[in-house]
């Protein structure tokens, strides 16, 4: 079902209780969780024949190139986005004014163009450093740009690019009109290493962690702020969760509703000491992993900026995702909410 505005106050109340570990009808709280990060498994190293960021079969020769991370706009006037439906991973993060922005990654399926491209934010180095490869964005405050340039990633920046990798498209209004030639920037930098695996993947959706031991989940409702509600509805025919924003279906540029094989919700602290909120993606916190129509309560761990996110169940075992694309919702603990509907 689509996310409706009337649901938000109830969802925020349920989320507060869920973080305290209280069991609720229609809202799943975490079970007892480990207090130490699980040991990174051997699968953190790229495996020949398996897409590093998707867990699906891939020709090793076709995967011998870097990942491309791009900051993608999510204001109303920036939708529908270009190429977002083909991303392996999409991180959704809180920015100013209660809005959200994406840090999207392509590796197994790189489109010709992606966009609209927007500026970098203070949490992006922590989100993206573990992937290596390339990051593209349209600038940002000097301290944020400097922090990103100090990461292991090759920075490709609209404001300083003189190689023609970016262009403005006439059919969109500025500043929501910057598009990146994604396939070309990857092809120019094939000497960079492919990414390691951020998450672990099961052999099939039916053997993913959520499918085996999770609870049936027909819908996932999250709110990043009072003005940013998100919904994911399980579609058994599509074998995916279908996305909505603020009560409306969320479409890609081809007119197809955005979908995710896995929806991973991480509750995160947000540093609001300056006008630009900074998601704190380090340490650990509450998580929910949804795959194959079910959700498993978990704990997330991230030991350093260059370390991948680890997901552990109550016994401390690494949670396997279903093979396919994944959206990671970085929901604030202070002003956000999570509601799971059976």
5-42+198-341 and 54-187: identical CATH topology: yes
Q: Which of 209, 214, 217 is closest to 312 using CA atoms?
A: 209
Backbone torsions φ then ψ of 237, nearest 5 degrees: -65, -40
What is the mean predicted confidence (pLDDT) over 25-50? Answer: 53
How is the chain split into domains, by residue range?
5-42+198-341, 54-187
Percent of the chain with pLDDT over 90: 84
The sign of the CA dihedral 250, 253, 256, 259 is negative
Omega before 290 within 30 of 0, i.e. cis: no
What is the mean predicted confidence (pLDDT) over 213-229?
96
State pTM to two decimals: 0.89
- pLDDT tens for each residue of 147-157: 999 999 999 99
Q: How far apart are CA 135 and CA 261, in angstroms?
A: 24
The pairing of beta strand 320-321 with beta strand 200-201: parallel
**What local confidence, expressed as pLDDT, does residue 37 receive?**
52
Q: In angstroms, rounded to a whole number, what is the distance separating the alpha carbons of residues 270 and 281?
A: 9
Kindly report the average pLDDT of the chain as a whole number: 89
Q: Is the pLDDT of residue 317 over 50?
A: yes
Q: Given a cut of 90, is residue 5 above it in pLDDT?
A: no
Q: What is the mean pLDDT of residues 215-223?
A: 98
* Confidence check: pLDDT of 286 > 90: yes
Residue-wise pLDDT for 118-176, tens only, equals 999 999 999 999 999 999 999 999 999 999 999 999 999 999 999 999 999 999 999 99
Q: What is the CATH number of domain 5-42+198-341?
A: 3.50.90.10
CATH of the domain spanning 54-187: 3.50.90.10
């Amino acid at each position: 079902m689509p996310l409706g505005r009337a649901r938000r106050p109830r969802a925020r109340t349920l989320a507060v209780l869920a973080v305290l570990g209280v069991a609720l009808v229609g809202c799943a709280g975490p079970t007892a969780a480990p207090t130490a990060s699980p040991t990174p498994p051997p699968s953190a190293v790229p495996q020949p024949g398996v897409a590093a960021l998707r867990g699906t079969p891939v020709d090793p020769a076709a995967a011998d190139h870097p990942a491309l991370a791009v900051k993608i706009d999510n204001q109303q006037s920036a939708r529908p986005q270009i190429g977002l439906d083909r991303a392996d991973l999409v991180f959704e993060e809180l920015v100013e004014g209660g809005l959200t922005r994406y840090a999207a990654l392509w590796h197994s399926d790189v489109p010709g163009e992606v966009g609209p491209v927007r500026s970098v934010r203070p949490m992006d180095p922590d989100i993206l450093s573990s992937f290596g490869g390339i990051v593209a964005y349209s600038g940002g405050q000097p301290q944020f740009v400097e922090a990103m340039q100090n990461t292991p990633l090759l920075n490709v920046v609209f404001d300083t690019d003189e190689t023609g990798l970016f262009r403005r498209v006439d059919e969109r209004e500025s500043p929501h009109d910057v598009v990146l030639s994604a396939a070309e920037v990857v092809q120019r930098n094939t000497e960079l290493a492919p990414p390691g695996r951020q998450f672990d993947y099961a052999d099939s959706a039916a053997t993913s962690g959520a499918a085996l031991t999770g609870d049936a989940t027909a819908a996932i409702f999250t709110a990043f702020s009072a003005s940013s509600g998100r919904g994911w509805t399980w579609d058994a025919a599509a074998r995916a969760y279908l996305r909505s924003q603020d009560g409306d279906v969320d479409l890609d540029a081809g007119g197809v509703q955005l979908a995710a094989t896995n929806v991973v919700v991480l509750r995160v602290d947000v540093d609001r000491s300056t006008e630009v909120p900074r998601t704190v993606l380090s340490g650990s916190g509450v998580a929910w992993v949804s795959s194959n129509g079910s959700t498993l309560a978990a704990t997330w761990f991230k030991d350093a900026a260059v370390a991948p996110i680890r997901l552990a169940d109550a016994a401390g075992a690494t949670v396997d995702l279903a093979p396919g694309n994944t959206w990671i919702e970085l929901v604030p603990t202070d002003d956000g909410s999570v509601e799971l509907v059976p």
